[in-house]
Structure 1
Amino acid sequence: MAMTDITRREVEQAMAEFDRLGRDRFLQRYGFRRAVRYLLSHDGKLYDSKAIVGAAHGFLPGQQPLTWKQLSGGAKHAAGLLRRLDFSVERGGGSRPHEDLIDRIANLRVNRASGQPALYQPIALLWAFGRARRGEARLLSWSETEDAIKALLERHGMRGERPRPDYPIAALHHAGLWELHSHTGSVPTAKGDSKLRRWFVEQHPSGGLPELVYNLVRHSAETRLTVIDVLLGTFFQDLEYGPLLTDVGLYDANVADDGLDTGEQQDEWKEQANLAAQYERWCRIVDNRENENRGRRVPRTAFNPIRSSSAHRAVLHRSQGRCENPDCTGQPTDVTDAGQPILEVDHVMDLALGGRDHPSQMVALCPNCHAAKTRGRKREQLRATLLDVAMERHTALRTDEETE
């Protein structure tokens, strides 16, 4: 028998053995290493895809498990087999999950018959990202998913999208960005009309974001803001996306919060080698959202939570938890309830007076220095100093990133 003779039954037997033995003992028993690129995701658990396929072969009648040598170079083939059996396979299992997710979203295949990208998949993803951000259930019944996405398509289908949730969900499933459970047979491709609709009505699958994607969007502010920025820049150019993001809960001043505790925050700031790279990523989001209004007549003070949240986060990251006033006489050693330093991000030049909502014109200040900058007799002198500090630190970090 060949690897292609493996069915869902053998894979499920291998997963059951994985659960019984635990990951390390399972891999040791079959002689496989931990997966780096491909993980099988099933019922909220992750499995090493290549090892699972190798073990599954041993559950075929009269067959032995396949060794890593027999599957050498076959990780993609193992992943392909699992996908053909309608399992969900994650890319980036151990190396660069953030980068892999961004790459998949940027390269989504969408209908462009009108000359512009259709918004079915982006709208469905933004809805799911909003749920992940709030910590809501990862998997939902088809009726719940259908009702929610249908309503969003009706309200925000800015390029004539029909209220057909089955289109984006089928497409996202085949792109590895959506799990579907509790059904039989393969999920049809996002083509045709009545056949696709009938499959979802008859199968009524539950589904949602893969676990790795859900957790990244849930816990990583960097990933959350980056995927939103990529979707907006790729699919929503020249469109007013604010109402949609508001509807799905991704358009407020706290969208960049990720709930790091004190220890995690300090560990993040201690990674000096990554400071410039991380700062650059935040600033790039700010620049993208700022550039979208070039050529448009919009108020200088127009509030964009994606830009503002990214700028706020960039400044805090740049400050490394310390007041950026060079003449600061001391800041509180206490922290907030969330474990954050008591710092206030401030626009050195008020937006209404021509300032920019940009890290190059923003600083992190302790409460005393913030009060001095706002109400002190020497506030204008301090404002000039802080503007120089903000620009110097901003330029230095972005230059460091360019030269690495």
Structure 2
Amino acid sequence: MGLGDIRHDHVIAATVEFRRLGRDKFLRTYGFGRAMSYELVLDGLRYDSKAIAGVAHGYATGDFWKARDFSGGAATVARCLRELGFVVETGAADNRAALLARLRQLKVSRGPGNPDPSRHQPLSLLWAMARAADDRPRLTPWPTFRDEVGPLLVEFGLPNAKATPEYPFWHLQGSGLWEVRGIPTELAKRVPNVGIFNQRHPQAGFTAETADLLCDPVTRLEAIATICETYLGDIDRQALFSRIGLSGYTTAGGLLTACVEETGGADTDEYGRSGGPAPRREATRSVIVRDEALARKVKELEGGRCQVCDTALRYLNRPYSEAAHIRGLGSPHHGPDELQNLLCLCPNCHILFDGLEIYVDSDGHVRGTRDDRAPRPLRRDPGHPMDEAHIAYHRTLCALKARIPGVG
């Protein structure tokens, strides 16, 4: 079941409920953030298009989709609603631009004799974004913030800078993106000291509006990249992301991690040779169910040849290629399983693409993030549609990893 199950009357029913509950309650009830790009316009009123589609799907099938259950955008929700006769307009994109502008203009302090801006606020915001990517509550009690952010400031803050988590906890309110709750008005007129925080246990985090914006994976990636480029240019991002809970942003999708060696394996002789079969262990895992018909389609369109290096492989006397998602399916990318999000690649180029070693520039040329390969055009069949938004998302990931200004 998909968006094709939705009919005109299902959309109308969703808009009726939207008006009955009010926008904020409607979005909160069904698990959506505010529209980032597309809004349904009906009788002079504007509705969040993806939320309307998810609720309309519930009226059509009984399965009320949440934001993460399907992809929004021009090729999915907007097209579906327009085909049903509705008007869909671009809207709310200015909110994303305003968010990024505020992130670039944080009122960060500078210590005596140190020209570099303090990293306290940027690191605290990245920590909060990691929580958002993990669907954690947007407001965090002071003890949790202190115990988790404090060590980050020691590990990744400026050399010789004092770790004072109480400062970003309170002063991030000046960004317009952050709020603190639980401090009485009479105490909030001046900066409360740590003793008051320890006594009152206030909560802090992104404002509801900011949290809604960061629910969108594209906006969240752009926000993370903006913070890193503006304030954290010389930090080991792989180490930081691993430590902070953003390790999903170090690859484009499904790279496998190396297995950890375990004790108790098969006995070996003096030359390290095993005396029996390799040991086994039971494991349970959750995997994303992909549309195999789409994978076959992209391979057929591209003739089984790699779109990057033009290699045509054979395995067991049959053509072999791999369908690679441009924007990864799983967390934190939540890309759609659709033809516009697929490339036909050989295994080598698939690994390089997922590992953010190569990217497609705005002119359609494949380049190396280490600047160690000559650019070459991405080969594409005229019948193979590709969404530039997915390609741009992958470019931003590459820029984030490789510190390449302007790639995103």
Structure 2-normalised TM-score? 0.44
> So what's the TM-score if we normalise by structure 1?
0.44
Structure with the larger helix share: 1
